[in-house]
A = this chain, B = another copy of it.
Amino acid sequence: MDLKPTKPLSGFIELLPAGQRCFDFCAARMLDVLRRAGFSMLDLPAIERAEVLTDKDNWDEIENQMFLFQKGDTKMGLRYDGTVGLSRYVAGHLNDLVFPFRASQFSKRYRGERAQRGRYREFYQMDMDIMGINSLSTNYDAEIISVIGAALDSVAEFIGPNEALIGSRPFWDALFDYLELSADQKREVFILIDKKEKMGDADFAEGLSDTLGDSEKENLIKLVFSDGYKQFVNKSEKLDAAIDELTRFMSLLNDMGVKNAKIDLSVTRGLAYYTGLVFEFKLINHPELGTAAGGGRYADLAGKFSKTKIIGVGAAIGFSRIFASMLENNQIDLSRFSNPVDVAVLVMGDNNVAYASRVVKTLRDSGIVAVSYLDTDKKFKNQIEYANKIGARFSMIIGDDEVAKNVVALKNMESGNQETLSVADAIKKVK
């Protein structure tokens, strides 16, 4: 019989144990930041009805990008983000939740596109959202940004410093109005802006020219990328309102202690959901990772599910994008995650298993990571080699003598020193 493949499907991640420990350690640290900020962790289904995942009119377009399947009469598929399930959940539990409601999620999402280099088809994102009924101060937008910053800061020893880039959807709306673009032109130009970083300056300029055919307008739009909003002060009421909102917000961020934020109007966050300020985080030492986190404000989060108007501000951290990439590329020093075992308990002979098991239980109950080697017929040489290979800090040798005297032989695997001790003294030594 042919052997089956042992590699996972392309676009799917699996880590070796030390990398996984690092991944889990960073997730736990970041989730603890969210917990202290009062976010309630939600764990929603990975499978949703197709009608929840997409509106019927873009079904064909989106079908290629998702994992979809049918059971009986029901079309369903794997979620591609955390927002779609959250909207459904919140709309279904308006009376069970207290608003403003703070929700966090840390879960796998799926994209069904053909796998490309560096694109995952299964990946973790860490979401946080604050939702209010009918109103929600923009102070919460600043709060979300400060919490993301704190979460990324909590693992800075691994990923380095981060910065927040703040964009404004209303600014572009106002500018397009000021330039008197048609509805079609607005849409086309917005798509170009969203793709600018990927397409490069030359293609962007060509795209603008194809769409607008008006070098004055094209130059004004390009000016935003070199010069920001400065040239557009006092041009129209709508522009001034958008600029005012943005500058007030930067000052609020500063007041809230967010020191690493700057305006970047090229940040638009695509076409979906967002209606107000938008933001992205980048890792300063890891430009190759692109956007580390992104989010913004949506005026009507759950309009498809409820007549109640839910205003939200939320963001997703690209957790796999950051950590799986860095781990796969050996960009994180794993030495502190390589040796999780405190004590390897080596048992010489089956008749000593009972005694050894009681010792192991005592060790584990005192919080020590203790692994027992239970192939008791193996020679001492093989057993100590096992202790070495798993990187145990200590080995504890239990043979007939130790059992007779109610002691253990504790060997420091680094120094090689060995002592005969009571179990209680051995525990003190290990700790």
Contact = CB atoms under 8 A, between A and B. Distances in A.
A199 interface: no
16 contacts: A3-B305, A4-B305, A6-B89, A7-B92, A8-B88, A9-B47, A14-B43, A17-B42, A21-B40, A38-B369, A38-B370, A67-B69, A98-B386, A146-B361, A256-B357, A257-B357
A37 B364 CA distance: 7
A137 B4 contact: no
A255 interface: yes
A345 to B, nearest CB: 10
A41 B67 contact: no
Interface stretch (A211-219, A265-273, A274-282, A371-379): A371-379
Given A14-B44, A137-B375, A255 B354 contact: yes
A159 interface: no
A108 B107 CA distance: 11
A278 to B, nearest CB: 19
A404 interface: no
Interface of A: 1, 3-9, 12-17, 20-21, 23-24, 33, 35-38, 40-49, 51-52, 67-69, 71-72, 74, 76, 88-89, 91-93, 96-98, 100, 102, 108, 110, 112, 114, 121-122, 132, 135-137, 139-140, 143, 146, 150, 252, 255-257, 304-307, 340-341, 350, 353-354, 357-358, 361, 364, 367-377, 386, 389-390
A23 B42 CA distance: 11
A191 to B, nearest CB: 25
Contacts of A341: 38
A114 B76 CA distance: 13
A139 B47 contact: no
> When A and B form their complex, which 3 residue pairs have the shortest distance between CB atoms, in order from nearest?
A6-B92, A255-B354, A38-B371
A385 to B, nearest CB: 10
B44 A46 contact: no
Contacts of A76: 9
A88 B20 contact: no
Contacts of A108: 46
A367 B49 CA distance: 39
A108 B122 CA distance: 13
Given A16-B96, A122-B45, A350-B139, A37 B370 contact: yes
B255 A45 contact: no
A36, A76, A305, most chain B CB atoms within 10 A: A36
Contacts of A350: 139
A91 to B, nearest CB: 5
Given A252-B353, A256-B357, A374-B143, A40 B52 contact: no
Given A6-B92, A20-B43, 15 more contacts: A4-B52, A4-B88, A5-B88, A6-B89, A9-B74, A14-B45, A21-B40, A21-B41, A37-B370, A40-B340, A46-B46, A47-B121, A132-B375, A143-B374, A257-B358
